[in-house]
Structure 1
């Protein structure tokens, strides 16, 4: 289906301006419109706005309590952040509705008309710490360098035959996975459970976040979905929407999907891989492809790769944002441990994927499924652009199994969230690329997250120490 036909079938996706959005909303029979925005952890927060309120907000923005940027996954307020906290009394921050993000929500049908949904982003004094605005600052850097950035994100997620009530009643133990056994790329599983697959594929098509590939991964009830490539701004929006509404669809089917990095030590973790490429903004030609060089890797792709590689240890907190993220990064579980790169090598942190002028790209494999897509994509793209600016060259290519090899200390990745937060705080590159306000705020939130974990005693500690020590 071409773009024109696509927009005819889904007129909400043809919206480009606030005026376009106003015409659509005014013609709608809906009494309320839904708006959502990313918090620091990548949770989509939002509300319904009455139609007249929404139309006013399209013109002038609206106020939203800045606690959304000042609390954690459990709605607990940070006690260590400068931008917002009890010391500020949590005033409203200004929010801009993003007209071109408009979508229908097939999971919320109404009187012959599905709910309209718009993404939003913080502006004004909140803009420096807003995840979506962070990415768009990096994208402006790319544009100023003459590049258009493209990205595709892919996610692994486990499915359970549970509900939000049952997992709490079970205290998150003895959970029943959607399907049993290791059935990677299983046609059997996808056929038997085809009703849900079809619902997921159809929802993603209707919401303009098409899935390019969907299959079972190795492990009970685990799926992997690759979202089709798009410009980097839209790719991040689609990743945010995909995670949220996949979970919503699962719960509507009396199932649950989790994107946490590692839910059990018995199974591999869940990745959130990022595919990246650059094109010349004037000509549309690939910046990464050069058929005259080994692996078709242009000089600028090599410099981009080198930038991502060099700054990966410093930016690790932006790819692995929770305590649980680091449980995934252990030997032998398809997760890299050093800032390495290779050609078509899935044991390295960065994978060069040689191809045509259209498909030449880099895959950043370090990220986990729990990462905020705006922040993780900003980290990867920003580091790569910085590499081009500095004309960096990547370290020696890795061949074979990277897990069994030893690498120099400068390639070692932080092993804990606390260490990652300190590396980010101290990073001059992060200050330059992301702004001092974001670095300070985000590092503080990761320190908070680590402190919440250290206050608790785990089941592993009880079993290991209670009697014997």
Structure 2
């Protein structure tokens, strides 16, 4: 229930933009924004290494009274299962587990539309007690990469595409997942790529996704049904990488909440169902000149520039070594297998969906490179940071790409790491990554991923019970 509002006096201040759904410029506007909506509580959230929202909730009156918010530094050193790996030479815990400070980014302030009481949310940056940015936190990792571009006079532009599955509720992890029943009363089957009927099976859920998104000021470009059963894809409009990473971060939460409202799960696992296509987070990327606003990938005559080819060259050289930031879990590598609608190479080509790096058909102003390797389980801040960093290194080091692929690249050898440990080792062994990600982040991230692998190895799979139990 909204708090009672007294009748405005003649001196009452009208909010400068009472219809604003997302973001304010300063704390004074924040207080006005909250009062106008009768907001009672604020969720101050930030992504951990996995992209899971962490943070604190407080009354709105406390939020606007300069309350200091803190989280323990160990929050960025635990695995997806909540465990804390053993220390190694490069993976260390802060000796005192000191506080890290949450600093709200007021441009992200929005309502939480699925809450029954008036509630708002805001994404926070992480600083230490001295006010310095903590370099290994995901939002700051991406900001550091964008700073490298800015120093060269460039600004990246991105447009993510996020795939996900709707699945029937399942409270026993030993049982396989299966599609939920739609409005027809039957579970949807595969082979429904771009099917409008497939989308219509979940009309009410999709209406809630749009409704929740609109309330938060999140803009969906298009929504389609993908190849897998009850597999959907949301495309976002191109823009600033931090803003788009924020949107993916919020969209994942939004879609899960909308699905739960209808008694089903939404999952962003890379490979939730055996024998079905995996879920990707394709990233379209271009770079513009800050002064002119022109696309750096195109020459004045409209032809492709050297920077365009060098960007691709950097992707080819460095993405395999940063793959653990694009495919962060054991399950991620089940998607990256031959003949399963996902690239397993580092080739590039024009309008070629069998390559890792596709150049869509476009005019010169919209020339871009699509990275088709990231999976939807990736932390969007780290996936964007990795993809853009590889392109940046290609430009500044003038790395030439291979020739564009003419035919299918689905055949032949796999040019990527086949598992999590191999991908972690490649991340650690690339010296150029210290410049773009920082050695502290690499050490922490690698330590967490090794810890997750060890946890996974403690689980005995159905395959082992089926084929080893009585045969070996």
TM-score (norm 2): 0.89
Of 284-293 and 96-105, more deviation after overlay is shown by: 284-293
Instruction: Give the one of 420, 426, 431 matched to 1:428.
Output: 431
- Aligned residue runs from structure 1 range 270-419, under 5 A: 270-290=279-299, 292=301, 296-405=303-412, 412-419=415-422
Shift of 1:289: 2.5
Of 48-57 and 142-151, more deviation after overlay is shown by: 48-57
Shift of 1:45: 1.6
1:3 paired residue number: none
1:446 paired residue number: 449
Of 184-193 and 208-217, more deviation after overlay is shown by: 184-193
Shift of 1:384: 0.8
Relative to structure 1, the CA distance from residue 223 to residue 176 in structure 2 (aligned partners, 3 Å threshold; closer, same or farther) is closer
Relative to structure 1, the CA distance from residue 453 to residue 307 in structure 2 (aligned partners, 3 Å threshold; closer, same or farther) is same
Shift of 1:171: 3.3
Relative to structure 1, the CA distance from residue 201 to residue 364 in structure 2 (aligned partners, 3 Å threshold; closer, same or farther) is same
- Aligned residue runs from structure 1 range 99-138, under 5 A: 99-110=106-117, 114-124=118-128, 127-138=134-145
2:188 paired residue number: 180
2:166 paired residue number: 159
Relative to structure 1, the CA distance from residue 147 to residue 413 in structure 2 (aligned partners, 3 Å threshold; closer, same or farther) is same
Relative to structure 1, the CA distance from residue 349 to residue 108 in structure 2 (aligned partners, 3 Å threshold; closer, same or farther) is same
- Secondary structure of 1:13's match? coil
Structure 1: unaligned runs, 5 residues or longer:
1-6
1:4 paired residue number: none
**1:42-62 CA distances to partner (integer Å, 9 max, x unpaired)?**
11122211224322447xx52
Is residue 179–residue 230 contact of structure 2 (8 Å, CA) maintained in 1?
no
Of 23-32 and 36-45, more deviation after overlay is shown by: 23-32
Shift of 1:170: 6.4
Of 139-148 and 193-202, more deviation after overlay is shown by: 193-202
RMSD of aligned alpha carbons: 2.1
**1:345-365 CA distances to partner (integer Å, 9 max, x unpaired)?**
111111112412442111000
- Secondary structure of 1:230's match? coil
Question: Partners in 1 of 2:86 and 2:65 — Cα distance?
Answer: 34
**1:171-228 CA distances to partner (integer Å, 9 max, x unpaired)?**
3336443432122211212224222222212222332221111111112111111112
Is residue 67–residue 84 contact of structure 1 (8 Å, CA) maintained in 2?
no
Is residue 33–residue 117 contact of structure 1 (8 Å, CA) maintained in 2?
yes
Instruction: Give the one of 204, 207, 210 matched to 2:213.
Output: 204
Shift of 1:288: 1.5
Asked whether 1:21 is paired with 2:24, we answer: no
**1:262-302 CA distances to partner (integer Å, 9 max, x unpaired)?**
01221011111111111111111111223746xx4221111
2:184 paired residue number: none
Question: Partners in 1 of 2:296 and 2:72 — Cα distance?
Answer: 42
Is residue 161–residue 281 contact of structure 2 (8 Å, CA) maintained in 1?
yes
Question: Partners in 2 of 1:419 and 1:137 — Cα distance?
Answer: 26
**1:93-135 CA distances to partner (integer Å, 9 max, x unpaired)?**
112111111111211243xxx4211001211277121000000
Relative to structure 1, the CA distance from residue 358 to residue 420 in structure 2 (aligned partners, 3 Å threshold; closer, same or farther) is same
Relative to structure 1, the CA distance from residue 12 to residue 184 in structure 2 (aligned partners, 3 Å threshold; closer, same or farther) is closer
Question: Partners in 1 of 2:293 and 2:366 — Cα distance?
Answer: 13
Instruction: Give the one of 462, 467, 470 matched to 1:464.
Output: 467
Relative to structure 1, the CA distance from residue 357 to residue 49 in structure 2 (aligned partners, 3 Å threshold; closer, same or farther) is farther
Question: Partners in 1 of 2:21 and 2:299 — Cα distance?
Answer: 39
- Secondary structure of 2:134's match? helix
Question: Partners in 1 of 2:226 and 2:37 — Cα distance?
Answer: 41
Relative to structure 1, the CA distance from residue 171 to residue 383 in structure 2 (aligned partners, 3 Å threshold; closer, same or farther) is same
Asked whether 1:143 is paired with 2:154, we answer: no
- Secondary structure of 2:232's match? strand
Question: Partners in 1 of 2:250 and 2:74 — Cα distance?
Answer: 21
Relative to structure 1, the CA distance from residue 285 to residue 401 in structure 2 (aligned partners, 3 Å threshold; closer, same or farther) is same
Q: Give the aligned length.
A: 447
Question: Partners in 2 of 1:365 and 1:453 — Cα distance?
Answer: 26
Relative to structure 1, the CA distance from residue 56 to residue 221 in structure 2 (aligned partners, 3 Å threshold; closer, same or farther) is same
Question: Partners in 2 of 1:40 and 1:74 — Cα distance?
Answer: 12
Compare the two structures and name the one with the higher helix fraction: 1
Question: Partners in 1 of 2:287 and 2:124 — Cα distance?
Answer: 26
Of 431-440 and 173-182, more deviation after overlay is shown by: 173-182
Shift of 1:26: 5.4
1:243 paired residue number: 252
Question: Partners in 2 of 1:10 and 1:43 — Cα distance?
Answer: 29
Relative to structure 1, the CA distance from residue 10 to residue 150 in structure 2 (aligned partners, 3 Å threshold; closer, same or farther) is farther
TM-score (norm 1): 0.90
**1:14-44 CA distances to partner (integer Å, 9 max, x unpaired)?**
5123443244335553332111110101111
Is residue 297–residue 354 contact of structure 1 (8 Å, CA) maintained in 2?
no
